[in-house]
A and B are shown apart, each in its own frame.
Chain A
Amino acid sequence: MLSKQVEKILPLVQKPARYTGGELNSVIKDKDTIKLRYAFCFPDTYEIGMSHLGMKILYSLVNERDDAWCERVFAPWIDMEEQMRKNNIPLYALESGDELSKFDVIGFTMQYELSYTNVLNMLDLANLPVLAKDRTSLTPIIIAGGPCVCNPEPLADFIDIFLPGEGEEVTNDLLDLLKEHKEKGSTKQEFLQAACKIEGVYVPSLYDVNYNEDGTIKQVQPKGDAPQKVKKRIIKDFNNVYYPTHFVVPFIETVHDRVVEEIFRGCIRGCRFCQAGFLYRPIREKSAQTANDQCKTLCKTSGYDEVSLCSLSTSDYTQLSELLDDMLDWTKEEMINVSLPSLRIDNFSDELVEKLKLIRRSGLTFAPEAGTQRLRDAINKNITEEEVLKTCKKAFEGGWTGVKLYFMLGLPTETMEDVAGIAELAQKVVDEFYRNPNKPKGKGVTVSVSASSFVPKPFTPFQWEPQDTGEMLHEKQHQLQQSVSTRKINLSWHEVNTSLLEGVFARGDRKLCKVLYLAWQKGCKFDGWDDQFHFDLWQQAFEECSVSPAFYANRKREFDEILPWDHMDYAIDKSFLIRENEKAHSAVTTPHCRQKCAGCGTNKLSGGKCDAIG
C-alpha cells in the first residue's frame, strides 16, 4: 500500500519498482489479527537483498504464523533517500507501507561487513535512535543475524539482540517470548534479561568488556543470568527443516532471479581461508527426493524458468547424480533450466559433464585461489595444477571458450613467487585451449583472472594472522600485472582499501562502534559500492576516535590472546583451529571430512552426528 506521499516521489527516482512492493507472492495480512509485526531488513539495495536465500526462508517462516506478519525492507538507493529525507518520508516496509517505528521487531541480516553503515542509516531513516541505549521502549526491538554476527562486537552499541547461528528455530522462540512480554507489559530490560536465556541469543548490553593497556581484551564479563558463552543454534534435522513453498517474485531483475534450492549445509573441504566452510558446520544433507519436490513446487508457484542448486560445494553433495536425474525428467519438458554453481574441479566427472550438456551452458568458473602448489597446500585448497588443467581441457573439448579463475592475493605465507604463479597457471590454461585439436574455428579463448584480497576472518585457522597492508597488496597487484604477457588473460582485482575496512570490522571489538557511528555521521553508506566508498571519511573517523585500523587488520595475534568473539560458541574447537594454523605454516594439507574426520568439534551440536562421516 503506497502512501500518496511516496507516489509523488517515485517518478523522481530510478527503478521505482524497488520501492512499491506488490510483487507476486508477497504476503498481505489483516493488521487487526496480528500480534507481532516483524520488519525483515536487508542493509543493501533491493536487487541484492531479494537475491538472498536466508531472507526468503525467514520471511515465509514467520508468515506461517497466524499471529505474526513479516514484511521486507531494503536500503533505499541514494536518489530515493534524498527524496525521502527532503519530503519527511520515514523508511517503510514494502508490504503495508507502514513506517518501521510501528513494528515490534526490526531484524537485520548481516551478510558482509561493508553493509554496517547501512544499518545505522536505515534506523535513522526510520526516525529511530541509532544507539540501542537510546531506545528505551520494549518495541521495536532491533535484532541481527547472519554470518557477520559470529563477531557481533563492532555492532554491539546499535543492536539489542544478536542471533548467532541458523535462524529457523530461534526466530520463533524469540517471537513467542516477545509476544508474552508484550502482553505482560514488560520493560525492554525485563525482556532482554529473559531473552538471553534462550539458546542462541546474545544480548550485548548484558556483557562488560575490559581491555588491557595494549588495547587487547582483558576480560568479557556477563551480567546477571547472561551465559558466559553464547552457543550458536543449528538445525539438527536438515531434511525436515522448514523451506518456503513460495518465493516473492520481483518485477525488476535481481542478482539471482530464479528458484534456489539449498541441498546441504556445511562443507567437507576445510579450506583454511573460508569462513563459511567453518561457520556452517556440521555437514547436513537434504535428501534428493525432498530437494526435487521442493524445486518442483517452487517452479510451479513462481513461474521461474530457472532453478539453481545452492550449497558451498555442489559437487560434494552425495546424491547429486540422483537429484539431477530426477530434475531433468521434468525440467526439460517444462523448459526450465537447471544451474549448478560451486562445482569443484577435482570431482568434475565425465558423468557430470554429460549431464551438464543437457543443461543450458553458462560460464565456467574455477577457484584455484592460489598460484602455486605450495600455497594451495598451505590454505588447504586441495586441488592440483594437473586437475585444473584436466578440467579446463574437458571444458574446452565440451565447447567452452572462456574460463573464469578466482585467486586471492595476500594469503598467509604468500611470496612474490606465488603471485607470479597465478599468471603462469592462467597461461597454462590458455595453452591448453590451443592444444585442443577440435577447438572451434575463428574463436579465441578468454581466461578471466579475478584476484581479490584475502581478509582473515573469525573462526578460521587464519583468525590470528595479520592481513597484508595496502602497500603490500598494491605491490602484489603490480607484480601480477607484470607477470601477464598475453591479452587472452583478463585481469581484475578488488579495491585494496575496501578489503582493509572489511578486515578491520571482521575482527574488530566494541571500540569500533564509535568509529562506525562517526563514519556514518560523516556520510558513509553503501561502502561495498566502489562509487559510494569514501575511504578518506573513514580515515578521518579512525583518527578522530584515536583508533588504529592496523591494530585490527595488520596485527598478528598470539594464540592465547582473548579474541573479541571468544564468547561466541560456534562449536569449533580452538585447538583444532590452532592445529590447522600450524599445518598451514608448514604447508601440510588436511584431508577432507569424508576421507578422515579432522576433529573440528562441531558434531557435538548435532549429538555427534555429521553427514560427512555418516
Chain B
Amino acid sequence: MRLVRIRFEKTGQAKYISHLDLTRCMSRAMKRAQIPMWYTEGFNPHPYMTFALPLSLGTESLCESMDIKIEGDMQNDEIKERLEQAMPVGINVYCVNEAKMDASEIVSAEYDILLELESSEVSNFFFSTQALLGSEELVVEKLGKKGRQKVLKQINLIEHINRYEVTQNDNGIKTTVLLSAGNNVNINPSLLVEALSREIKTQPQAVDITRKNLQTKSGELFL
C-alpha cells in the first residue's frame, strides 16, 4: 500500500461541483481509470481518499490536492496518464507524486478575485478597496459553530489578510490576496467580496474567484 498525492486544477464548469460531489466524482474516476485503490477494512469498505483543503462551490482552483492509497506497483506516470483520460471536463490532473508535506501545515491560500463592474464604478471601487484593505478593521458576520450550537461570529478580515494587491482595468478590478487557510481558520474569499460590496455600496455584476496556491507558515508552496 502506497500513499499518492494527486494535484489537479478545477476550472470552468467544474467549479460548480461541490466538495461532497467531488469526492464521489473522483472515486468514479479512479474506477474508470482502473487505479488499484486500497480499500478501508471496515464493515463497509470504501477507497481511501482525502483532500488537502476543501474548495467552496463556485470557486476555481489551480492547486487542488488529493491523497489516495494504492496497492501494487503502478507508477506515478501511469496513474497520471490514466486519470487524464478519466476526468470530466474542467478537472485537469497535472502532477502525481509522493506527499512531501502534511495538509495540517497549510496556513494560507492565495486567491485572484476578479470583480466585474460598470466602467463608471471602477475607479471608485478601486480606490475604496485599497483604502478598506489598508484600514484596521473590515468586519463580516459568519455563521459559525460553538460546540453544537450555531452562532453568528464577527470576523475582522484584516487580521486574516497576509498580503494583497489591487489593480484596475476598464471592466473592473482584480484583487490578489493571501488569506488565512487551513484546519484552524479558513477564510472564504467570498466573505471579502461581500464586505467590499457592502462598504462601497456597489454590487459587482460578476465575481470570479480562483485559488492559486496553498502556502505553509514559512511561505513555502504546499507540496
Interface of A with B (CB < 8 Å)? 2, 4, 7-8, 10-11, 16-17, 20-24, 249, 251-253, 299-305, 334-335, 360
Chain B residues positioned under 8 Å from A11 (CB to CB): 58, 207
Task: Point out the residues of chain A lying under 8 angstroms from B29, CB to CB.
Answer: 303
Min CB gap A331→B, angstroms: 12
A10 to B16: give the CA distance in the assembly, Å. Answer: 9
Can you pick out 23 interface pairs between chain A and chain B where the beta carbons lie within 8 Å of each other? A2-B13, A4-B206, A8-B205, A11-B207, A17-B21, A20-B16, A22-B12, A22-B14, A22-B90, A24-B28, A251-B16, A251-B21, A251-B24, A300-B32, A302-B28, A303-B28, A303-B30, A303-B31, A303-B86, A305-B28, A305-B31, A334-B31, A335-B47
How far, in angstroms, from A556 to B136 measured CA to CA in the complex? 78
Q: Looking at the assembled complex, report how far the CB atom of B212 sits from the nearest CB atom of chain A, in whole angstroms.
A: 20
Residue of A nearest to B32 (CB): A303
| Closest Cβ–Cβ distance, residue A495 to chain B (whole Å) | 31
Taking A11-B207, A335-B39 as known contacts, 7 extra A-B pairs with beta carbons closer than 8 A to each other, sorted by chain A number, are: A2-B13, A17-B17, A17-B18, A22-B13, A304-B28, A305-B31, A334-B31
Interface residues of B in 195-212 (CB under 8 A from A): 205-207
Q: Which 10 pairs, one residue from A and one from B, show the smallest C-beta to C-beta distance? A: A303-B28, A303-B32, A303-B31, A22-B13, A24-B88, A16-B16, A251-B21, A17-B16, A251-B17, A20-B16
Contact of A23 among B27, B45, B88, B205 (CB under 8 A): B88
Which chain B residues have a beta carbon within 8 Å of chain A's beta carbons? 12-14, 16-18, 21, 24-25, 27-32, 39, 44-45, 47, 57-58, 86, 88-90, 205-207
Closest chain B residue, CB of each to CB of A24 = B88
Q: Is the Cβ of B24 less than 8 Å from the Cβ of A16?
A: no
Q: How long is the Cα–Cα vector from A2 to B58 in the complex, in angstroms?
A: 14
A249 with B207: CB separation less than 8 A: no
Are A252's CB and B21's CB within 8 A?
yes
Residues of A within 8 A of B14 (CB): 22
CB–CB A16/B58 < 8 A: yes
> Which chain B residue has the least Cβ–Cβ distance from A19?
B16
Q: Is the CB of B28 within 8 A of A249?
A: yes
Contact, CB under 8 Å: A305 / B206? no
Which chain A residue lies CB-closest to B89? A22
Residue of B nearest to A15 (CB): B18
Residues of A within 8 A of B18 (CB): 17, 251-252
> In whole angstroms, how far apart are the Cα atoms of A494 and B30 in the complex?
41
Q: Which chain A residues lie closer than 8 Å to B16 at the CB level?
A: 10, 16-17, 20, 251
Distance A17 CA – B89 CA, assembled complex (angstroms): 13
In the bound complex, CA of A17 to CA of B16 (Å): 5
Complexed CA–CA distance, A334 and B39 (Å): 11
- Tell me the bound Cα distance from A300 to B32 in angstroms: 6
Contact of A7 among B24, B45, B206 (CB under 8 A): B206
Question: Which A residues lie within 8 Å of B28 (CB)?
Answer: 24, 249, 302-305
B13 cross-chain contacts in A, Cβ below 8 A: 2, 20-22
Min Cβ gap B143→A in Å is: 17
Chain B residues with CB below 8 A from A249, complex form: 25, 28, 88
Instruction: Tell me the complex Cα distance, A78–B44, Å.
Output: 37
Given A8-B206, A11-B58, A16-B16, decide whether A22 and B31 contact each other with a Cβ distance below 8 A.
Answer: no
| Separation of A23 and B13 alpha carbons in the complex (Å) | 9
Report the separation of the CA atoms of residues A20 and B58 in the bound assembly, to the nearest whole angstrom.
Answer: 12
**A16 to chain B: which residues have CB within 8 Å?**
16, 57-58
A189: min CB distance to chain B, Å: 41
Min CB–CB distance A342 → chain B (angstroms): 24
Q: Which residues of A contact B57 (CB under 8 A)?
A: 16
User: CB-CB < 8 A to A21: which residues of B?
Assistant: 13
Q: Which residues of A contact B206 (CB under 8 A)?
A: 4, 7-8
**B216: shortest Cβ distance to chain A, in Å?**
31
Q: Which residues of B contact A20 (CB under 8 A)?
A: 13, 16
Separation of A412 and B28 alpha carbons in the complex (Å): 48
Distance between A119 CB and nearest chain B CB, rounded to angstroms = 27
Give Cα distance in the complex from A251 to B13, angstroms. 11
A302:B17 contact, CB within 8 angstroms: no
Contact B30 A253 (CB under 8 A): no
CA distance A452 to B39 in the complex (A): 41
Q: Which residues of B contact A334 (CB under 8 A)?
A: 31
Closest to A249 in B: B28
Write out the residue numbers on chain B whose beta carbons fall within 8 Å of the beta carbon of A251: 16-18, 21, 24-25, 88
Contact among A253, A302, A303, A304 with B21 in the assembled complex (CB-CB below 8 Å): A253
Smallest CB separation, B60 vs chain A (Å): 12
A249 to B28, CA, bound (A): 9
Q: Distance (Å) between the CB of A45 and the closest chain B CB?
A: 16
Contacts of B47 in A (CB 8 A): 335
Least CB distance from A504 to B in Å reads 39
Instruction: Indicate the member of A2, A8, A20 with the most B CB atoms within 10 Å.
Output: A20
Q: Tell me, in angstroms, the Cα distance from A303 to B21 when the chains sit together.
A: 14
B31 cross-chain contacts in A, Cβ below 8 A: 299, 303-305, 334
The docked-state distance in angstroms from the alpha carbon of A601 to that of B173 is: 73
Chain A: minimal CB distance from B91 (Å):
10
Residues of A within 8 A of B205 (CB): 8
Contact residues in B for A360 (Cβ distance below 8 Å): 44
State A10–B15 Cα separation when bound (angstroms): 11
Q: In the complex, A61 Cα to B14 Cα: how many Å? A: 27
Q: Name the distance in Å between B18's Cβ and chain A's nearest Cβ.
A: 7
Taking CB atoms, residues of chain B closer than 8 Å to A253 are 21, 24
For the complex, give the distance between the alpha carbons of A283 and B97 in Å.
Answer: 54
